[in-house]
Chain A
């Protein structure tokens, strides 16, 4: 299996042979040495069985002392030899073997083989998550909440250790391993028939690239989702067919622009991609006017590109214009008041502190707040450890890569229809989004709704297919009625039809086999909807308001001419 295991076995040879030999010598001697009986007469000595018994309790230092007759002097002499020989050898051998079992290399082998076994036994679809830092942790939590199995690889043993502390419904197999080595991804189940996709979100672009290459070569049909911090890496990944590449900086820039031109759309996106059950976020209303951008690195460039597209007037402050290709900017770090004043902070409406240094970013916004307290502040947070400082400051927007990448991946993974829903949404005016927002708040309440899609397939919705075989004409209406009382509705909203991509479909829309429908709603609503999808009786009640007879006797009774068609039978 692994070379380490053989090495350990090999190293166990000497202690084991010593142990066997010392036992053999002691037992043999003990059985040869003459003894005495109760009256002082010489006897031929112990039998081998008694000698083995005596040596066993002596060598292990248990020291019973229960052999019935008194030892002869010769036996006492040999017992001394036995004690010093076997006890020492026993301690040495057992010590060595225990030390080998504690050997880090050996334990690693044990861990990786348990991991591989756990992965092999998975029967439901799972995702391989490479890198379980902040983004990975967020994603795992959310996948777990949505009943999706994951398998985790990370290079840092501490992070893998922290997984044990997390509260997950699933048992998540995790292994400390370098994802740049393809064998590790294969061990995590890349070739497993239930593998649903590979997600690479380490903070190392090269590692993510390596994962994408390995996955695309070994299982080309599997979707691969990658995080890329550099535009070049993103281009590289796209060139060999990586399905989804999330660049946190670019995504943030786009969202900021979206918040500027259509706040309602932005809030809708926020609500539908957040972790279900959390309180709903407040709308973001960035003002139009002059903005100051501090730092023209990867983040700054992405923000500038997207804000310019919105026609916003921008002033850039950059400490090192030569290396960042910034031709029209004010030189400085932005942490000093005079640079900010030079950039015209007095008539600016917003500021973006986007350097790659958290202390500098905080310093920039604190200085800016001194000068102009009403500014709209966008703050970039690089390290999770600094979170308390950023929360305390409370900027209008705090940008955290981990958060953004996590949300993007989540919507891509759990509800593929959702990303198409957002594409369609962008074609609608912002008022439409606001209307939908108030409807969501009214129907579902003040926590983040759950979003799910329903596929009317034979596996997922057996009752629907049965009903269609019986020529029942089902409409969307039937899916949102409450199984406990058909006159009430479940707290959920059908957002989009999968085939026609019609937004907010009419409730009288007829259903067809193979349809996909995107819903958002309460967690309970989803559970109760499943009842109707899987149970023909429930569906029939929702559709017609009658309880159909269950057993063959009641069915026969119902078929008799005198039984009225609308009678309720249980």
Chain B
């Protein structure tokens, strides 16, 4: 067992689970999506991205790419949130919430892919 691999796997899976937790619920219902959950997803995703730096393999490159996609989508979601609440007077209306959650759902796809790649990599390694 390798501690580095444990930490690596932990963050990638945590990114996916947190992301799932944020997305699940009614798309435009403000009560179903908490801001701290989005915060946690962003932070864990950023850490997962940094952990993927410096992998030389082809699989490592795909890993990094999926992470970048997830980061991009999540930061966009957070930005929409901040703009709606603080910069314009829109507030968290159902349409705003819907666009935040759909952006985060996109990130979830990327995170799921990332986990699938992780599993494939592990299977290949053991063969």
Contacts and interface: CB of A to CB of B under 8 A. Distances in A.
A28 B39 contact: yes
B50 A16 contact: yes
B92 to A, nearest CB: 12
A85 interface: no
Interface in B29-61: 35-36, 39, 43, 46-47, 50-51, 53-56
Given A24-B39, A48-B39, 19 more contacts: A3-B56, A9-B53, A9-B54, A10-B53, A11-B54, A12-B50, A12-B53, A12-B54, A13-B54, A17-B47, A17-B50, A20-B50, A21-B43, A23-B43, A24-B43, A31-B36, A47-B35, A47-B85, A49-B82
A74 interface: no
B30 to A, nearest CB: 15
A92 to B, nearest CB: 15
B127 interface: no
A341 interface: no
Contact of A6 (B50, B56, B86): B56
A10 B54 contact: yes
A54 to B, nearest CB: 13
Interface in A9-45: 9-13, 16-17, 20-21, 23-24, 27-28, 31
Contacts of B54: 6-13
A18 to B, nearest CB: 10
Contact of A13 (B36, B43, B51): B51
B86 A47 contact: yes
B35 A48 contact: yes
Contacts, number: 47
A27 B40 CA distance: 11
Contact of A49 (B47, B50, B53, B85): B85
28 contacts: A3-B56, A6-B54, A6-B55, A6-B56, A7-B54, A8-B54, A9-B53, A10-B53, A10-B54, A13-B51, A13-B54, A16-B53, A20-B43, A20-B46, A20-B50, A21-B43, A24-B39, A27-B39, A28-B39, A31-B36, A47-B35, A47-B86, A48-B35, A48-B39, A49-B82, A49-B85, A49-B86, A50-B86
Interface of A: 3, 6-13, 16-17, 20-21, 23-24, 27-28, 31, 47-50
Main secondary structure on B side of the interface with A:
helix
Interface string B61-105: 000000000000000000001100110000000000000000000
Interface size class of B (residues with CB under 8 A): 10 to 19
Nearest to A21: B47
A369 B53 CA distance: 72
Contacts of A9: 53-54
A3 B57 CA distance: 12
6 tightest Cβ-Cβ pairs between the two chains A and B: A10-B54, A9-B54, A24-B43, A9-B53, A16-B50, A49-B82
Contacts of A20: 43, 46-47, 50
Interface of B: 35-36, 39, 43, 46-47, 50-51, 53-56, 81-82, 85-86
Contacts of B39: 24, 27-28, 48
Contacts of B56: 3, 6
A551 B31 CA distance: 79
Contacts of A23: 43
Contacts of B55: 6
A20 B85 CA distance: 24
B81 to A, nearest CB: 8
A308 to B, nearest CB: 64
A28 B43 CA distance: 11
A16 B46 CA distance: 9
A11 B36 CA distance: 30
A28 B17 CA distance: 20
B107 to A, nearest CB: 17
B35 to A, nearest CB: 6
A10 B8 CA distance: 13
A13 B85 contact: no
Q: Which of B36, B43, B51, B81 has the most CB of A within 10 A?
A: B43
A24 B43 CA distance: 6
Q: Which of A6, A20, A28, A47 has the most CB of B within 10 A?
A: A20
Contacts of B81: 49
Contacts of A6: 54-56
Nearest to B42: A24
A510 B50 CA distance: 74
Contacts of A47: 35, 85-86
Nearest to A15: B50
A13 to B, nearest CB: 5
Q: Which of B35, B39, B81 has the most CB of A within 10 A?
A: B39
A180 to B, nearest CB: 27
Nearest to B11: A17
Contacts of A8: 54
A24 B35 CA distance: 14
Nearest to A3: B56
A17 B51 contact: yes
A400 B15 CA distance: 70
A13 B7 CA distance: 13
